[in-house]
A = this chain, B = another copy of it.
Amino acid sequence: MELIELMQSQWTCRYYKTDPVSDDVLERVLDAARWAPQGGNRQPVRFVVVRDAEKKRQMKEWYLNPWNAYVAAARQGGIHIGSETEVKIPKMLSDADYFANHMDEVPVWLVVCAELAEIHPTDLDLGRPPVVYGASIYPAVQNVLLKARDEGLGTALTTLLCHYEPQVKAMLNIPDGIATCAVVTVGWPTKAFPKRLNRNPLSTMTFNESYGTPLYS
């Protein structure tokens, strides 16, 4: 399969089989994270793999609080969702709502962590929130998502559980100085991968020499 086909079909999987994910396939998936770029080759990313049913159930309970608030706001139009070309927002929301209420049944959760002292952000004094911390974290996460897709595994990347970082850290014995950056659920999808995701055209996001001047028509 071509790389671009992998990327075009690497979607947020919301329906999973309960079949286990073996240590072997999971090792190949996690190994992909090692090769991603990050500042100074300091490699700040860590993963806590959670399969324990009670831990997943507790994290789902926490997750549902911000999730239910998000759904309520989205249904009232208070949150912008979707691409320019997308027409099926209610379907996306109901799928995501199903996921939120059943995420503890997904066999593997990866709690993505980062050693903040190993990241040297370059955008702390710009009068806007910093984004550069993520440059040493999320490339590794994307490698994991792509390698999982390559193995036929579905994934969902969510950051909503960050609202419960203190509770998650206490439960998983995550020390001071470590941030929880995302959760990635991993399992075998019930449905075939989509052929192609719904995205805005390239012309809306690539500019030539000056912001707003399209490079491609």
| Chain A residues close to B by CB (< 8 Å) | 3-4, 6-8, 10, 12, 23, 27-28, 30-37, 39-43, 45-52, 55, 66, 79-83, 86, 92, 113-114, 116, 118, 120-124, 126, 128-135, 137-139, 141-143, 145-147, 150, 157, 159-163, 165-166, 172-175, 178-179, 181-182, 197-200, 202, 205-212, 215-216
Q: Are A197 and B7 in touch, CB under 8 angstroms?
A: no
What residues on B are CB-neighbors of A197 within 8 Å? 35
Chain B: minimal CB distance from A205 (Å)? 5
Q: A131-B181, A139-B157, A175-B212 are in contact. List 12 more A-B contacts (CB 8 A).
A: A31-B202, A41-B83, A43-B199, A48-B208, A114-B131, A131-B137, A134-B138, A135-B137, A135-B182, A146-B146, A173-B210, A173-B212
7 A-B interface contacts by CB (under 8 A): A41-B82, A131-B137, A133-B134, A135-B157, A135-B182, A138-B142, A174-B211
